[in-house]
Structure 1
Amino acid sequence: MFQAYGTQRALEKLGYDSEFINLYTREEEKKNENKSFALKLKPLLIYMYARLNPKLQLKYKRFREFHGLMKLTKRYYNIEEIYNNPPNFDLHLVGSDQVWNLQRGFQNPPYYFLGFLGKDEKRISYASSFGTKNIDKKYNSRLKELLSCFSAISVREDDGVQIIKEACDLEATQVLDPTFLMNAKEWGELATKERLIKEDYVLYYGFDNSELSRQLIINLKKRLGLPVVAVSGGVSFPFKVDYFVKEAGPREFLSLFKNASFICTSSFHGLAFAIHFRKSFLTIKHPQRNSRMETVLNKFDLFDRQVKNANDLLIQSDEEFFVDYSKIEDKIEFERTRSLNWLENNIANLIE
């Protein structure tokens, strides 16, 4: 949702009106709000817990409200509706996130490659991602066929540039995730004004249940002497923490990051918002999809933020443990400007 919001705000800054194609299937809605259940014990218990827990119901309400802040087309309930009656715009843009993830092959039909458009329709990508360092060569021919229709291609990872070059012999540009097209002040204005946690705290945001994550939570609390607050996309959290915030919608999520004393995350956007709000942080390497984290960490000279051993943080000096953003402010601003300029120039070349 933040990627979508950041993209639309960037387009507004550049003077363009935009709408999101509002594809939201019944199945996705049920999944997002835990409205589906099976006659098996675990799914049934999750369903009952989500339906009866007022904090989770508040969370779903908050997401719906934030969704309403964006300009959307009418709601489409399946991809076939879009193919049968394609929306008509001067330019179509796809991105960000893993819209080109080919782990399970090509989606049929290839919606996220804008396959519903006519041959002469103008299209570009902004910060699209394959979610991996490489793809199976058997996809090369089809990928080239689909991407050759694009007037300009930008991707989120350095590896994506290489994939497109090797698989398609096409040029692509690496740009920042669209959340970087907004600054900390802009994101902070969206956050709830009242702090969710009154005292200082360490924030953990992630989706894994690794032993490394568990040990990091323990050692961060020991090192900093602060309570640990967790926020997650799920209805439960696998580790012992001082607070697990179940009711956070997008605005509350921003508030938790804005007011944290330190952040630990296994999520790319956890990393991104730690940087947006200039917080000291540690990241946990994803076992398969780590390319996007590595691109940002390398670009901003923050690769030492990726933890391999949880005990290291107990012996690091303060200089090693905390991030000195004064050393990298110029790099962050340079990359933000470069990414926004790519978007501005490629849109202007096509519709002005």
Structure 2
Amino acid sequence: MKIGIYTIHSAYNYGAMFQAYGTQKGLEKLGYESEFVNLYTVESEKKNESKTVSFKPKPFLKYLYARLNPKVQLKYKRFRDFHSQMNLSKRYYSLNEIYANPPKYDIHLVGSDQVWNLERGLADRPYYFLDFINNNERKISYAASFGTSKIEKQHNQNLKSLLSGFNAIGVREDDGVDIVKEATGLEATQVLDPTFLLNAEEYNEIASERLIKEDYILYYGFDDSEISRQLIINLKKRLKLPVVAFSGSNFFPFKVDFFIKEAGPKEFLSLFKYATFICASSFHGLAFSIHFRKSFFSIKHPNRNSRMETVLNKFNLMERQAKNADDVLKMSDQHLFVDYTKFEDKIEAERTKSFNWLKNNLIEISEK
């Protein structure tokens, strides 16, 4: 029984790469052979490696910085090496190749991330809805995301047609369940992001050695809001520790003690594993704070907060969403730090629930 995985697996983005890794390793734990359908265009490769040139002053300077900075080039190499260790199909350079000759698998699985994002409308070739696969073939989604809390009604009919061929629909957010029901009348189940199919011990096995020898506060994310800036300042004042930051970008908007430019996926894990306290403005920053059972605050995203709130609600951790940066200076240690003994049973119950949903639906689909 071989499963083909369709997801965003090759982007030099920590969250995208780890959701893909979690999906494949989760299937491996269930006894299934799988591979990613390796759609990787030349344009995507150039974007990953900062090889796309613009001669406008600011973009051109960013291009030169990325191409000439050895730490940035080391980061790219580390992403390449990590990606090459995944089980991949032959490389497809365009959608035309896939649509002309669709891959053959026993089960076709659409993976996580915002693969069903309809903000720009429905694509002419809605690849992640598997419209090129016959409806008599086995199709399932696990933790697919619309990336929003609602979609335009104009997409309802097309969405119903596209999803009606799926044997089971698992979505990442509670809002995704509502979107599927309201738009199509079909039933979907909310499941955890695929990084939760693995545990801290399994991530420890591939994490790099410790990068920062002293204790530190970690900031990870993409946010440049005032609350993020002030939270960094107040956490440093409260904990009297240096602030280490990194993100998918080669630049960082705030003053910190260390900005790490060279971190690949394994270094990402190490930075979370050894942090004393974490401030995260991205979903996977929040997720890996929980994986490693770290005390943390998450920063509310201005318009894509559904996936963060879904996880925080599931685990009874909504109080870890920072509302006022000054609260950090007033909290007792009891409230500042997370006592995971209060949440461990809930986290493990939800993780097991998602794992069993995937296992049981794959068994049921396999028998059809």
TM-score over 0.5 for the alignment? yes
2:295 equivalent to 1:280: yes
1:290 counterpart (305, 319, 324): 305
The residue number in structure 2 matching 1:203 is: 218
**1:320 match:** 335
Is 1:126 the counterpart of 2:142? The answer is yes
Distance across 2 between alignment mates of 1:119 and 1:214: 50
C-alpha deviations, 1:46-104, integer Å up to 9, x for none? 11101100001000000001001210001111111110111100000002011011111
Gaps of 5+ in 1: none
Q: Which amino acid aligns with 2:246?
A: V
Q: Distance in 2 between matches of 1:11 and 1:253?
A: 23
Q: Deviations over 1:257-313 (max 9, x none)?
A: 000000001100000000000000001000100000000000111101111211011
Return the letter of the residue paired with 1:34: S
What SS does structure 1 have at the residue aligned with 2:62?
helix
In the alignment, structure 1 residue 107 sits paired with structure 2 residue 111: no
One-letter amino acid matched to 1:265:
A
2:245 to 230, 247, 250: 230
Q: Is 1:215–2:215 an aligned residue pair?
A: no
| Counterpart residue identity of residue 251, structure 1 | K
Match of 2:4 in 1: none
Q: Distance in 2 between matches of 1:64 and 1:157?
A: 30
| Cα RMSD for the two superposed structures | 0.7
User: How many residues get paired?
Assistant: 351
Secondary structure of the residue that 2:219 maps to in structure 1?
strand
Q: What is the SS of the residue equivalent to 2:287?
A: helix
Mapping of residues 142-221 of structure 1, within 5 Å: 142-192=158-208, 194-221=209-236
Q: TM-score, normalised by structure 2?
A: 0.94
Match of 1:349 in 2: 364
Q: What's the secondary structure of 1:100's corresponding residue?
A: coil
CA distance in structure 2 between the partners assigned to 1:347 and 1:120 by the alignment: 16
**2:29 pairs with 1:13:** yes
Partner in structure 1 of residue 52 of structure 2:
36
Asked if 1:65 is matched to 2:81, the reply is yes
Work out which of the residue numbers 50, 53, 72 in structure 2 matches 1:56: 72
Give the SS at the match of 2:326: helix
Which amino acid is the alignment partner of residue 288 of structure 1? Answer: N
Q: Matches of 2:153 and 2:338 in 1, distance apart?
A: 40
Counterpart of 1:289, as a letter, is R
CA distance in 1 between partners of 2:286 and 2:298 (Å): 7
Identity of aligned residues (%): 71
Provide the secondary structure at the position in 1 that maps to 2:361: helix
Alpha-carbon distance in structure 2 between the residues aligned to 1:267 and 1:91: 31
Deviations 1:242-271 (A, max 9, x none): 000000000000000000000001100000
Deviations 1:89-134 (CA, angstroms, capped at 9, x unpaired): 0000002011011111112201010112123111000000011111
Q: 1:250 aligns with which of 259, 262, 265?
A: 265
Partners of 2:134 and 2:178 lie apart in 1 by 28
1:271 partner amino acid = L
Corresponding position of 1:84: 100
Separation of aligned partners in 1, 2:225 and 2:153: 32
Aligned partners of 2:247, 2:200: CA distance in 1, in Å? 22
Q: Is 1:268 aligned to residue 283 of structure 2?
A: yes
Amino acid at match of 1:86: P
Give structure 1 regions of 4+ aligned residues with deviation exceeding 2 angstroms.
none
CA distance in 1, matches of 2:149, 2:280: 21
Q: Which SS does the other structure have where 1:19 is aligned? A: strand
CA deviation vs aligned residue, 1:123-156 (integer Å, no higher than 9, x gap) = 0000000111111111111101100010100100
Whole-Å separation in 2 of the counterparts to 1:294 and 1:211: 21
- The DSSP-based 3-state class of the residue aligned with 2:218 is strand
